[in-house]
Amino acid sequence: MNKHYAVFYSPGTFVSEESWVEIDGWDVYKAVELSRGIKERHGATPYGFQFKTKERGDEDLDSRVVETSAMYYLGGEVFTLRDIEQRADPKEHTLLWNMRVNGVERVIINNNSWKFTAPLLEGDVILDY
């Protein structure tokens, strides 16, 4: 038995809040619509989502994730390491340090809820939101 989910991620205190919503299939437009109804603690709303498919066999006690999509960001701006260096914003000192130390070339900064910054990975999608 397979079930599909849209997993919405919203800014949290230490880690992102997650909301799993069952969905008929990996439909980006449907997931975007569903995202508008998600609200987490402190009024945080999703910065993005992934699709996940869970499967459970007849002999399995619980389901397991068997497939995961790329990350779909609900808007945001992309900045390269060079962009962050040139901005020379003292408030971004830790971001700059982390990018250099971890070899991160690009980040996405999303402000559609609380500010969220993450490495932009190969295959990630930024939606016009």
Domain parsing of the chain, residue ranges: 2-73, 75-122
Confidence (pTM): 0.90
E strand map for the chain: 2-10, 17-23, 48-55, 64-68, 72-74, 77-80, 106-110, 116-119, 125-127
Report whether 70 contacts 123 (CB < 8 A): yes
In this prediction, residue 58 has a pLDDT band, given cuts at 50, 70 and 90, of confident
Q: What pLDDT score does 113 carry? A: 84
Question: Is residue 111 classed as helix, strand or coil in its secondary structure?
Answer: coil
Which of the pair, 74 or 61, is modelled with greater confidence?
A: 74
6-52: pLDDT as tens digits: 999 999 988 999 999 999 999 999 999 999 999 998 889 999 999 99
